[in-house]
């Protein structure tokens, strides 16, 4: 592998982590969706580059799926959902942005420490790739935990899944079936969540999970 191949793969994966941080920072839903679209776009680029350097044409399919569904269909659909729900307010975060960013940095450091040490036998590219992928997964989880709005949690879930795809394509020899099934399960999850959002909204007049908690029968 030539150094330039490695550098570009490395750069794209790093970019994905950087965009994850951008997602954490956004407190407007429109902006968040746009950043998510960028996240998916970078993922598609990264997968396509992996397909090129690994000489694995089936990965192009994955890249196209990521481009079409994640970078276009899902953000557009979420945009329309937001419009129809009529939520243009800012996202109330549970933890302040500064704290979230600090926690995010800690998570990236943790995943680098763990992954670089655990995957010592793997190739250098796979090693870096897995470390970045774990960072993206952890940042997605962090976003799900820190957002109060259900749409924000959905975006966190989607970017977490992007991390999984990055890990899967970085490792050589992952069958196409796995990637396609992961992609479809995410799509179905998205549809289900979208439907549920409307149902919830119909019933409770809000998609704020904090408010919804008070509707639960059991008392805490």
Partner 1 sequence: MTLAVILICAAFLLALAPFALVTRPVQVASRLIYGASLAVSVASLAASLAHLLAAAPAETIALPLGIPWLGAHFRLDALSGFFLIVVDLGAIGASLFALGHGLHETAPERVLPFYPAFLTGMTCVVLADDAFTFLLSWEFMSLTSWALVMAHHRVPENVRAGFIYLVMASFGTLCLLLGFGLLAGSDGHYTFAQMRAAHPSAAVGAMAMLLVLFGAGSKAGIVPLHVWLPLAHPAAPSHVSALMSGVMTKVAVYGFIRIVFELAGGPAWWWSIVVLTLAGVTTVMGVLYALMQHDLKRLLAYHTVENIGIVFIGLGLALAFKAYDMSFAAALAFTAALLHVLNHSLFKSLLFFGSGAVLAATGERDMEHLGGLIHRMPQTAFVFLVGCVAISALPPLNGFVSEWLTFQAILLSPQLPSWGLKLLVPAVGALLALSAALAAACFVKAYGVTFLGRPRTQAAKAAVEADSFSLAAMMLLAALCLVAGILPGLFIDAIAPASSALIGARMPAQSGLQWLSIIPIAASRSSYDGLLLFLFMIISGTLAASAIHRFASDRLRRAPAWDCGYPDPNPATQYSAMSFAQPIRRVFGSVVFQAREVAGMPPPGDTRPAWLKVELRDLIWDYLYAPLAATVGSAAERLNRLQFLTIRQFLTLVFGALVILLMVLAVWS
Q: Which residues sit at the interface with partner 1, rule CB under 8 A?
A: 94, 107, 110-111, 113-114, 117-118, 138, 141-142, 144-145, 148, 209-210, 213, 218-220
Question: What's the CA gap between 67 and 159, in Å, rounded?
Answer: 14
| Beta bridge pairs of residue 93 | 147
Of the candidates 14, 16, 20, the one whose C-alpha atom is nearest the C-alpha of residue 101 is 20
**How far is the first Cα of the chain from the last one, in angstroms, to the nearest whole number?**
57
Please give the helix or strand (H or E) that residue 72 lies within, else none: none
DSSP string, 82-107: HHHHT--SBPPBSS-HHHHHHHHHHH
Q: Which CB sits closer to partner 1, 57 or 175?
A: 175
Residue 114 C-beta: closest distance to partner 1, Å: 5
Residue 92 C-beta: closest distance to partner 1, Å: 12
Residue 43 C-beta: closest distance to partner 1, Å: 22
Residue partners of 195: CB distance under 8 A and separation at least 6: none
Question: What's the CA gap between 45 and 37, in Å, rounded?
Answer: 12
Q: Which CB sits closer to partner 1, 126 or 141?
A: 141
Question: What's the CA gap between 32 and 26, in Å, rounded?
Answer: 6
Residue 66 C-beta: closest distance to partner 1, Å: 24
Residue 179 C-beta: closest distance to partner 1, Å: 23
Residue 157 C-beta: closest distance to partner 1, Å: 10
Q: Which CB sits closer to partner 1, 65 or 134?
A: 134
Q: Which CB sits closer to partner 1, 68 or 145?
A: 145
Residues in the chain: 220
Q: Which CB sits closer to partner 1, 8 or 141?
A: 141
Of the candidates 130, 135, 133, 154, the one whose C-alpha atom is nearest the C-alpha of residue 144 is 154
Question: What's the CA gap between 93 and 40, in Å, rounded?
Answer: 23
Q: Which CB sits closer to partner 1, 56 or 164?
A: 164
In the 8-state DSSP scheme, what is residue 175? -
């Amino acid at each position: 592998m030539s150094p330039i191949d490695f550098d570009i793969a490395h750069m794209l994966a790093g970019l994905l982590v950087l965009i994850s941080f951008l997602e954490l920072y956004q407190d407007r839903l429109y902006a968040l969706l746009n950043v998510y679209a960028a996240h998916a776009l970078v993922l598609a680029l990264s997968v396509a580059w992996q397909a090129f350097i690994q000489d694995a044409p089936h990965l192009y399919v994955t890249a196209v799926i990521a481009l079409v569904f994640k970078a276009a269909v899902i953000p557009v659909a979420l945009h329309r959902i937001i419009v129809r729900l009529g939520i243009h307010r800012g996202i109330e975060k549970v933890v302040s942005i500064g704290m979230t960013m600090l926690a995010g940095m800690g998570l990236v450091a943790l995943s680098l420490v763990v992954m670089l040490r655990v995957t010592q036998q793997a190739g250098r590219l796979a090693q870096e790739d897995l470390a970045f992928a774990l960072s993206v997964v952890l940042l997605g989880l962090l976003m799900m935990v820190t957002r109060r709005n259900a749409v924000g949690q959905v975006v966190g879930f989607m970017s977490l899944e992007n991390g999984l795809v990055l890990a899967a394509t970085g490792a050589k020899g992952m069958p196409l079936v796995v990637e396609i099934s992961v992609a479809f399960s995410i799509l179905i999850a998205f549809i289900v969540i979208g439907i549920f959002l409307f149902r919830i909204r119909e019933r409770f007049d809000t998609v704020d999970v904090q408010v919804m908690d008070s509707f639960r029968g059991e008392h805490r």
